Chain A
């Protein structure tokens, strides 16, 4: 059994080298040292000190870039992880971390820098999710390359990163080394140790290429599941567009019309609706809405009676933001309110 596995691996490697040479000079020069498969991956098990050193030095070489692109995702009381995959800030994570499209999230880098992100689409059946960084800056965002070739083989050495148990600036991102122990169609299983907080974080091959996203812990201590890149590339466009795919179990579509703003209003002569009551500690109060404000538009839709507001709220969920244009004491203002839970 082992011999057959070794032979298959050897053939695959030979095939790759053969293909590369045939395609031509350009391709050969493009395939740098980094893309070469770590030789230890072709061994059933490391055999000597040199093999161990090779794993260690390769890991240390690719770690800095991997760490720089791995962020902590803050979600209310809990947290997860995610990884940046493009210089303009496209981020991959787990669906059960991002939970729905169009939500505001905070992403924290290892050095403590916080940026704002917006959740994009997800696949609630495979646990694939996407986020886009919305904070603007001149420099490119640190990012990692995705393995688009599905090049991983059973037994490959891999490493997982994550903000285990939550963000800890002194500790930094946690690194775990392991091997791929099972490859199924929509799940990779490794023996890297994962705990809560690691969800959504990256799994890398020894070239530092992203091959999976941490999804869930397995029954055994050393059996942990990751979403393979194929699940992302299959539905890439849909996710970028913000589509919520699948019927769960990793995310549930947000219930619409389940939130509240915490204010009462009545039609106002001259247009808009006038705020008559603002609830204590309500979402409206927290965002600065005051009694007497005349709300003119809500998410750019004009308001002329109280029911207009109710209609718009029916389509929105807890956590969504609404933008009001209003006049206060004759002056025009714009306020944003986050819909709260009843």
Chain B
């Protein structure tokens, strides 16, 4: 004899008892659509329509539109991105939205119930539930390699903002102000491009970088080192932003792990506790059984910073 599907721990019969949390998801989560297809979710962080979502998923959309509660917004403004957390700030022209209420801390005990976005219809958001599964921690970049630079996007160019003394970039003579044009012979437009090209490299391998320095093109060979070797002891936020070239299921400075399994690309929505407060933003479905969220303290800081830059 088996337990019927609706009664399983995440089955339909569980949905009723999570209605209060679903009601929060209804108002305070955004559905990011690509034309008519649901592609990702987002966290509503202001009444006038600022939304945080997963950058590497949002980037892929050709015709992004946003659905919040029962209203669809066809115009979406795109603001800044934080590459080390993979978060993008977007905005729709709205009034009177209900932003999420941030929980005081994400450091909740393992076993705490959590609720996130599940499948959706045009009018009704649905939820999935699970529990916090492990200690909050860093998830190192798969391969865990870095060249040791902090990059920023300036006028569509990848500019070196800071160089880590211990990194391969420093050894190769890369300087602040250099613009990275090509890696391994291919043009790069954003951090993820570099990640793709260095994907198969191992610690100790060298990669060819072509940079623009004082109007001239410079070619250098840069050694890839194990990330941990570049950052002794505590990593500062700046350290964390330096070239962590990683696929976006890893390489997060801090994650809250939970058991809600969304589909691979339906991440970006808020993770709520039973009180309906936001514990974080779903950022990755890492494997068969692990999902990660950006903890609320970090999400709050990212949101405030990106909004401040957007309003300049």
A residues apposed to B, CB below 8 Å = 44-49, 51-53, 55-56, 59-60, 63, 154-155, 157, 159, 164-165, 168, 170-183, 189, 191-195, 217, 221-222
Contacts and interface: CB of A to CB of B under 8 A. Distances in A.
Nearest to A172: B135
Interface size classification for chain B: 20 to 34
A174 B257 contact: yes
8 tightest Cβ-Cβ pairs between the two chains A and B: A170-B137, A193-B289, A181-B3, A59-B111, A45-B13, A178-B9, A172-B135, A195-B289
A335 to B, nearest CB: 36
Contact of B131 (A164, A172, A176): A176
A189 B8 CA distance: 12
Nearest to B12: A45
Tell me what chain B mostly uses at the interface: helix, strand, loop, or mixed.
Answer: loop
Most buried by B among A173, A179, A189: A179
13 contacts: A60-B112, A63-B109, A155-B3, A159-B111, A175-B134, A177-B111, A177-B131, A178-B9, A181-B2, A181-B3, A193-B289, A195-B289, A222-B9
Given A52-B274, A170-B137, A174-B134, A60 B109 contact: yes
Contacts of B132: 175
Given A49-B20, A164-B290, A171 B13 contact: no
Interface in B239-265: 257, 259, 261
A326 B247 CA distance: 55
A195 B288 contact: yes
B2 A175 contact: no
B155 to A, nearest CB: 39
A170 B13 CA distance: 35
Given A45-B13, A172-B135, A195-B290, 7 more contacts: A46-B14, A63-B110, A164-B289, A177-B111, A182-B1, A194-B289, A195-B287
Contacts of A175: 110-111, 131-134
Contacts of A193: 259, 261, 288-289
B209 to A, nearest CB: 32
Interface string B106-135: 000111110000000000000000111111
B255 to A, nearest CB: 9
Nearest to B112: A56
Contacts of B20: 49
B235 to A, nearest CB: 13
A133 to B, nearest CB: 25
